[in-house]
Amino acid sequence: MIGPTWLVDDLLRVEELLLRTAGSSRHPVVAEAASHLMKAGGKRLRPALVLLASHSGEPGREATDLAAAAVELIHLASLYHDDVMDGTDTRRGVPTVHAKWGTDVAVLAGDYLFAQGCLLGARAGGEVPAILSLGLARVCEGQIAENQALGAAGRSVGQYVETIELKTAALFAAACEMGACTAGAEPERRRALRDYGMALGLVFQVIDDLLDLVGDPDIIGKPPGTDLKEGVFTLPVLLGCKRDPGLRALLERGERRLEVVLPRLRECGAIDAAFAFADERADAARARLDGLGSEDWVVALRTVVSGVLAQADRDRPGAS
Amino acid sequence: MIGPTWLVDDLLRVEELLLRTAGSSRHPVVAEAASHLMKAGGKRLRPALVLLASHSGEPGREATDLAAAAVELIHLASLYHDDVMDGTDTRRGVPTVHAKWGTDVAVLAGDYLFAQGCLLGARAGGEVPAILSLGLARVCEGQIAENQALGAAGRSVGQYVETIELKTAALFAAACEMGACTAGAEPERRRALRDYGMALGLVFQVIDDLLDLVGDPDIIGKPPGTDLKEGVFTLPVLLGCKRDPGLRALLERGERRLEVVLPRLRECGAIDAAFAFADERADAARARLDGLGSEDWVVALRTVVSGVLAQADRDRPGAS
């Protein structure tokens, strides 16, 4: 991620806190399983959002670092449980906890990371525990909603958006809001940053969903069409079903092959339309920053939006 | 549970809060799955401990009710995940969430209950979020430690005690401590109540472990010897292995049949010794109440100890 140089130092400090927290158990297996995915890397996008947003007030407070680490622990915990549910064997190029220690340890180590995240949130104090646990509750609601919508080719775009707002964007919004509130930012700046986080989260998930269909498997690190195969019908597919009733009928009869579905999505313009949707939300995210000035941290938050979009630039229709 | 009449009213108020919280999602499946086990009953022992302990200070504060509901939500969440890990189909006489909605919903509804518990804890404020999340972290550590010790017939009593302190007693201790701290009790009373909770939790788990071996299956609601079959060697078995090296050798060769193991445990006095251990810890729990006077709430906390022991009274050696 490109950002102000101070961000690198801030993230290193949070990284130390993350490793110390996840590895704090006296039980070697707990410490090892809880640190496993963290040590395999990751972009630390959510902590970066907390740290950047804290410049809307008085940055550098301990509570901000604690909130930044807390939101990443909650995110990692949800990945542990995702891997249990999906039976995923590798993530970030290493075996998942689920694959290495089995289902029980993966469920419990996820729970342990939730607890440690909440504990850091408690140490941060103020409104952080409430914002964090509300964020986590929304992630779970969104995942259950997605689970219930498996195979539903008639789901509306509104329902899709509501689901990913809960599943993904709520934690981005929480990250930005915690950055602002731990720094004592004014209510209006805090609201703007929360809305920015929500819009950014939508862009992030739409791009992720697009990459699952059109991305380079070597870059996205998983076989393309995974969502489709599991019956998770994301924005491009839902837009396709509206435009091409024949495609919807195929999906409802159980068609899940990417080589059948993708050409029809391209043909009817659904891929283009999904990219246009992401661009529109990206504009909305940037627009929420307009009243916040032009300091380096605001520029960096704009760059985060472009960076999320850029992940799929080479896969846009017409890109060379 | 026998207790002061006001406790019934207090518990009803907490029950309403529990149902309102677990059923608060706009998504019907989330609301239904999160309320499912709660509606099937349960003793609400942990909320009762919070409410009783709050009389060590100024009872009746909203934060106490919130903490009482929060600790029950955390407990219920851990049961959802237990059922996923053990593949349990019924609990409290109804199908488990895992059996009714599948693994994914059970994992996520458990996570959702964790989040809602932490959210109530955040609303309670003060030290509640920290005590609660530390309690949850310990539960997870204890369960992972137990998981790692499967089939270890040479485990020491000390290791067993440490595991159940984390897995079970830490949340009892947290309940008592939150009752005291939300009521603004003096530090010394708070410490006494926390220690009482820890000792009570040990008694609770040792009795539970004994009942798994010697209890009436119609009363305990599961086939006897379940722990043994899964390789969870609890106090009576570990004491038996010390007293009867032949038994230890059998277990190490994979013997898991109750009809083989139980007579040897009775023969070598391990069952008696486990009951004696529970009695001793029960005395320790009651002793921690000695400095707290003799008001109805202290009497009730003593009665809780006797009630936990009494569950196994008919199964004691020599009982008629």
Q: Quick one: average pLDDT of A140-163?
A: 95
Residue-level pLDDT at B320: 55
The pLDDT tens digits of the residues spanning A217-256 come to 888 877 899 999 999 999 999 999 999 999 999 999 999 9
- Check CB contact of A155 with chain B, cutoff 8 Å: no
Q: Is A233 left (phi over 0), alpha (psi -120 to 50) or beta?
A: beta
CB B37 within 8 A of CB B91: yes
Task: Find the residue in B nearest to A104 (Cα).
Answer: B85
Interface confidence: ipTM more than 0.85: yes
Domain range annotation of chain B: 5-315
CATH number at B5-315: 1.10.600.10
Among the partner-chain residues B112, B133, B147, the one whose CB lies closest to the CB of A140 is B112
Residue of A nearest to B136 (CA): A115
pLDDT at A90: 87
- Tell if the CB–CB gap between B137 and A29 is shorter than 8 Å: no
Assign B90 to helix, strand or coil: strand
Note the pLDDT of residue A281: 98
DSSP B229-259: HHT---HHHHHHHHH-HHHHHHHHTT---HH
Q: Looking at the complex, does the CB of residue A33 fall below 8 Å from at least one CB of chain B?
A: yes
Please name the amino acid found at residue A141. Answer: E
Nearest to B122 among A85, A115, A133 (CB): A133
Contact flag A118-B105 (C-beta cutoff 8 Å): no
CATH architecture of A5-304: Orthogonal Bundle (1.10)
Contact (CB<8Å) B148/A122: no
Instruction: Please give the Cα distance from B319 to A25 (Å, whole number).
Output: 42
pLDDT at A92: 85
Beta carbons of B134 and A148 less than 8 Å apart: no
Tell me, yes or no, if B112 comes closer than 8 A to chain A by beta carbon: yes
Mean pLDDT of chain A: 95
Contact A112, B144 (CB under 8 A): yes
Nearest-5° Cα angle at B171, B170 to B177: 90
Enumerate the residues of chain B whose CB falls inside 8 A of the CB of residue A75.
Answer: none
pLDDT tens for residues A127-146? 999 999 999 999 999 999 99
Q: What is the pTM of this model?
A: 0.96
Give me the residue from A116, A129, A137 closest to B116, CB to CB. Answer: A137
Judge: A105–B29 Cβ closer than 8 Å, yes or no: no
The pLDDT score that the predictor gives to residue B1 is 55
Candidate from A104, A143, A144 with C-beta closest to B147: A104
* The two structure tokens encoding residue B85: 């890990």
Residue of chain A minimizing CA distance to B33: A144
Residue B221 has a pLDDT of 76
Instruction: Find the residue in B nearest to A139 (Cα).
Output: B112
Q: Measured between CB atoms, does B107 come within 8 Å of chain A?
A: yes
A31 touches B at CB < 8 Å? no
d(CA B199, CA B172): 9
**Cα B183-B186-B191 angle, rounded to 5 deg:** 100
Q: What is the pLDDT of residue B3?
A: 81
Residue B320 to chain A, least CA–CA distance (Å): 41
Structure confidence at residue A219 (pLDDT): 82
The angle at the Cα of B261, spanning B258 to B267, to the nearest 5 degrees, equals 130
DSSP H helix total and E strand total for chain B:
17, 2
Residues in chain B with CB shorter than 8 Å from the CB of A25 are 141
pLDDT tens track of chain B, all 320 residues? 568 999 999 999 999 999 999 999 989 999 999 999 999 989 999 999 999 999 999 999 999 999 999 999 999 999 999 999 988 888 888 999 999 999 999 999 999 999 999 999 999 999 999 999 999 999 999 999 999 999 999 999 999 999 999 999 999 999 999 999 999 999 999 999 999 999 999 999 999 999 999 998 888 877 899 999 999 999 999 999 999 999 999 999 999 999 999 999 999 999 999 999 999 999 999 999 999 999 999 999 999 999 999 999 988 887 75
What average pLDDT does this structure show over A7-34? Answer: 95
- Closest-CA residue of chain B to A142: B27
B31 reaches A (C-beta below 8 A):
no
Mean pLDDT, rounded, for A195-209: 98
Residue contact B119–A137, C-beta within 8 A: yes
